[in-house]
Structure 1
Amino acid sequence: MEEFYTVAMIISIATFTISTVTTPGPNNIMLLSSGLTFGYKKTIPHMSGIIVGFPFMVVLVGLGMGVIFEKFPVILSILKIVGILYLFWMAFKIANNTSAYEVNKGQKSEPFTFFQAAIFQWVNPKAWIMAITAISIFVTANENSYLQVITIAFIYFLSSIISANSWAFGGVVLKKFIKNESSVKKLNIIMAVLLIASVLPIIFE
């Protein structure tokens, strides 16, 4: 590792990744809501999709997709618009989530699957910004670029494990202080508002 990254650089990457994945954003707010609504166990596929899906996205961006966006910035702009619209739709869904132990005529909302969470990374504006920024800052040598990209993705993988579990567990802890379904509903509405708020800086940048 020292051949292409110093220990100081590894620490710098780790600090960057942990700070970007743990701050409030679409992934984390949705995990908090899922932990609150469905519990930790049912949120594991959602967490796993993020933990695996985002580092995989970082690898693909690092191996060439970033160049495509530099040459054709309109593609990234279109992805941002699609992602923002999707997040508004998700905010609506979260606001209307009910608790997993409530049965309403056999119909109830379901947590994200592994595949849904992994695919979501590709329409998550914050994920694109994080991936492109990390690659542009920390890929410093052409001869070792592939190893550097893999290293960045692996550190993101470890950081995502910490972040995803923390936010999902936070939702579980919140639920312990809630005594009725009405309170769950109100908190999910707050989550939906926070989800929209998390993409406002991207809209007005």
Structure 2
Amino acid sequence: MDFTAFLLYCVIVTFTPGPTNIVILSTVHNKGTKKALEYTYGATIAFGLLLVLSAMLNSMLIEVIPKIIIGMQILGSFYMFYLAYQLYKADSSKENVEHSASFKSGFLMQFLNPKVVLFTITVIPSFILPNYTQLPAITMGVIVITIIGFLAFITWVLFGTIFKRFLQRHKKIVNILMAIFLAYSGIMNWM
């Protein structure tokens, strides 16, 4: 296996802005680091679970992938638009909607996030299974990828924490920009 290509693929996909990373940044901005970490833990567990499911059900997924991708695109786009709308209408003087900053929402977001689903569907069969078929090797691959994803999420939490004062000073503009990025992610899901 080309470990450099594998690591580059994992780092680029997990660290670049996407729906989960944008929601993490927004959560730090609106709710604080503790709530962002709660969301991040849910997102990480779901990310790892998706990798496990991909590894276990790879052959079945290949057969039904067109149906899964279409369904995930529809659900994922609507969910991203919903989150974008929630960010846009967030009132800085009132408490924001709680469900966007919970372990459960972080967990569920991963199953509706096309970027994560497509990544987990492609990384295992592209890099792990062609080279390793033994359960310990596949398990180690899933663990390594999950850790990379967790590090990406934590990076966004740290970024939000470091720049929290700036972000809070410009709360409405930041919310609008993040809403635009999420809506753009939803639109790009169809491109």
TM-score range, shorter chain: 0.7 to 0.9
Structure-1-length-normalised TM-score: 0.82
Residue 46 (structure 1) aligned with residue 39 (structure 2): yes
CA distance in 2, matches of 1:29, 1:108: 16
Fraction of identical pairs, as percent: 23
Report the alpha carbon displacement of residue 33 of structure 1 after superposing the two structures with TM.
0.9
Residue 187 (structure 1) aligned with residue 177 (structure 2): no
CA distance in 1, matches of 2:5, 2:56: 21
Bigger radius of gyration among the two: 1
Q: How many residues align?
A: 188
CA contact (8 A) 2:29 2:168 kept: no
CA contact (8 A) 1:13 1:155 kept: no
Question: Given residue 147 of structure 1, which amino acid in structure 2 is its aligned partner?
Answer: P
Which residue number corresponds to residue 202 of structure 1?
Answer: 189
Report the alpha carbon displacement of residue 136 of structure 1 after superposing the two structures with TM.
1.9
CA distance in 1, matches of 2:54, 2:63: 14
Which residue number corresponds to residue 140 of structure 1?
Answer: 130
CA RMSD for the aligned pairs?
2.1
Report the alpha carbon displacement of residue 30 of structure 1 after superposing the two structures with TM.
0.8
Return the match for 2:157 from 145, 153, 168.
168
CA distance in 2, matches of 1:23, 1:122: 18
Which residue number corresponds to residue 67 of structure 1?
Answer: 59
Residue 109 (structure 1) aligned with residue 97 (structure 2): yes
Report the alpha carbon displacement of residue 164 of structure 1 after superposing the two structures with TM.
1.1
Residue 82 (structure 1) aligned with residue 70 (structure 2): no
Report the alpha carbon displacement of residue 141 of structure 1 after superposing the two structures with TM.
4.3
Task: Please list the CA deviations of residues 109-138 of structure 1 after superposition, one character each: whole Å capped at 9, or x if unmatched.
Answer: 224211221121111100111111101211
CA distance in 2, matches of 1:160, 1:135: 14
Is the helix fraction higher in 1 or 2? 2
CA distance in 2, matches of 1:35, 1:116: 15
CA contact (8 A) 2:77 2:187 kept: no
SS at match of 2:101: coil
Report the alpha carbon displacement of residue 21 of structure 1 after superposing the two structures with TM.
0.4
Report the alpha carbon displacement of residue 194 of structure 1 after superposing the two structures with TM.
0.7
Structure-2-length-normalised TM-score: 0.87
Report the alpha carbon displacement of residue 58 of structure 1 after superposing the two structures with TM.
0.7
CA distance in 2, matches of 1:203, 1:178: 30
SS at match of 1:203: coil
Question: Which stretch of the first structure deviates more once superposed, 80-89 or 153-162?
Answer: 153-162
Return the match for 2:139 from 141, 150, 158.
150
1:193–1:36 Cα change, 3 Å = same
Residue 29 (structure 1) aligned with residue 18 (structure 2): no
